[in-house]
Amino acid sequence: MSGRDPAGMLKPVSMPGPACKEVNGLDPYHFLALMGKRVLHPGGGYTTSEICRLAGFSDGAEVIDIGCGVGSTAIQIASRFGCRVTALDIDERMINSARSNVHAAGLVKTISLKQGDMQSLPYADNSFDVVTIEAVTMFTPDRPRAVGEALRVCKPGGRVLDHELVWLEPGHDEVRRLFYEEICAGAVFGSQDNWIQLYRSTGPHVIDHVSAPFDMFTLRGLLRDEGLAGLFRMTAKCMSRWCYIRNMIGLMHRLHKFIPYLGTVVISVTKERT
Ligand SMILES: C[S@@+](CC[C@H](N)C(=O)[O-])C[C@H]1O[C@@H](n2cnc3c(N)ncnc32)[C@H](O)[C@@H]1O
């Protein structure tokens, strides 16, 4: 990234228009969920496909999707692979959206929804064959505890698959500060190696990883993840209020400046058989 000017990213985007209580203070992913976006993780559908490939789901397997958002990945795993899925999220609004999506998909008997915190999962040890996590661990204040919980509820020989954002190169502290401050309050992450080391510290498990671009906001990524009809629906929702348009333009404008600095990773952990 040499030659880039992180200081140039300092300028906040200021858009004219009235404030809107409904979107003020919303995290970007909550705002995007409100706009009808279904895929809320940075690697988009590509990294979900990688998770599905690495998971080796079998019919009837018990799966937990931690930080399920609006339930899109849980629905995909249940409908494509015949797994029984627990979809857990800390946020009541997300669980409510996931509930209506699960209902619309006709999967109420296969997917159970639960409000809960990744750092303290309300399940016994060794409960699930596969644990999926997409862009959630980076929001947990106690990271070792969060990944420890993911490993604890996974059966020996089972898999934990975690997809997270990474900084592509060290340095540029100002860029990082701005990203956390202006884009994603509460999120903190490091390099790909930091994520791998975090999982290595959980025990002598077999660890693999796949790197992927941060392309959830490219046109290709948006079309792949939401489809043309989904994009039209999101645009229509966005156009329905000035403060939505204003928020969306501000978010996109700010985000695009960070894209060259960001990548994503899927970490695959096969839990040691004891
Ligand atoms: C970036 S969104 C990703 C949503 C979903 N995994 C997806 O990829 O579409 C992050 C999600 O993690 C949830 N979350 C954040 N901290 C959490 C925690 N400690 N335990 C469980 N869920 C959490 C948020 O409520 C939000 O739904």
Which residue type occupies 209? H
Token pair recorded at residue 181: 């401050």
Between the alpha carbon of residue 47 and those of residues 20, 51, 74, 98, 177, the distances in Å are: 33, 6, 14, 20, 26
CA of 215 from ligand 1 middle (Å) equals 18
* CB 216 near ligand 1, within 6 Å: no
Q: Whose CA is nearest to atom 24 of ligand 1?
A: 67
21 or 266: which leads in pLDDT: 266
Mean pLDDT of 207-229: 92
**pLDDT tier, 6 (very low <50, low <70, confident <90, very high otherwise):** very low
Which helix (H) or strand (E) segment holds residue 114: the answer is: strand 111-115
**pLDDT tier, 17 (very low <50, low <70, confident <90, very high otherwise):** very low
- The per-residue pLDDT for 19 is 54
* CB 41 near ligand 1, within 6 Å: yes
Residue 1 has pLDDT above 70, yes or no: no
- pTM score, two decimals? 0.91
CB contact at 8 A, 71 and 98 = yes
* E-only strand ranges, the chain: 62-66, 84-89, 111-115, 128-134, 154-167, 206-213, 262-270
pLDDT tens digits, one per residue of 258-274 = 888 999 999 999 999 97
13 or 114: which leads in pLDDT: 114
**pLDDT tier, 153 (very low <50, low <70, confident <90, very high otherwise):** very high
What's the rounded Cα separation, in Å, for the pair 24 and 20?
6
CB contact at 8 A, 97 and 32 = no
- The per-residue pLDDT for 12 is 36
* CB 189 near ligand 1, within 6 Å: no
